[in-house]
Amino acid sequence: MINSNSKLKIPVPLLALCLTLVACGGGGGSASSSANLNASSSSGSVLPSEGASESGEAVPAPASQTSALTTTNASFTPDETRLAAAAENSTQLYVAESFNFDDFKRLALRVDAVDSAGNVLANKLIKIKSINKYINQWDDAALADAQLLFIGKTDSMGHFNSNIEVPLHVQKIVLELNAVGVENKVMLDIAENNEVSVSYSFR
């Protein structure tokens, strides 16, 4: 006869085995869930970026966009009627195609200097000045307002060759040779062309 008051005794090795099995069974789902999560994230789809196809190739821009980038050669020919009338504001300003924006002209100057005996006047200073185009006499008081344009020197043969730039408004110049015994200064008219050649001989 079993005593109801007696206590059930479980061996210690059996109790340890049960606790181990319970612990292993509770952790098995964690590894499976982690594997499923990794598989789900790695198999997710990736949307192609804008301007590229699903195969990775570039997609051409729509025709409407490319046509907007095409420029046409616009005509800037001025209205002839506006060229004949003064502009009333800045939006009506037009310039003829032949208009020259340069404010200077090129002067090709060639000078020979010899004395009365025919000897060359070497290494003599030459001054080029601009004067009013209406001056014709050496005693004109307006000569005092002459503007110095250039200073040069004759070479060993008495020649002076130079290409200089002068203001476009210059229409008359004075050549002065630093020498005695010859006519050492002269007035010369200058054409209004952009390319002007002037030759003179002091004798």
Look at residue 163 and tell me if it is in a domain: yes
Higher pLDDT, 190 or 24: 190
36 phi and psi angles, rounded to 5 deg? -65, -40
Look at residue 128 and tell me if it is in a domain: yes
Specify the number of domains making up the chain.
Answer: 1
Q: Looking at this protein, which amino acid is placed at residue 155?
A: D
Look at residue 150 and tell me if it is in a domain: yes
Look at residue 156 and tell me if it is in a domain: yes
What CATH number is given to the structural domain containing 168? 2.60.40.1120
142 half-sphere exposure, CB direction, 13 A CA radius: 10
Look at residue 38 and tell me if it is in a domain: no
pLDDT digits (tens, 9 = 90+) for 31-78: 444 444 444 444 444 555 554 555 555 555 555 555 444 555 566 666
The DSSP output letter for 155 is -
- Expressed as residue numbers, the domain containing 149 is 104-202
pLDDT digits (tens, 9 = 90+) for 132-168: 999 999 999 999 999 999 999 999 999 999 999 998 8
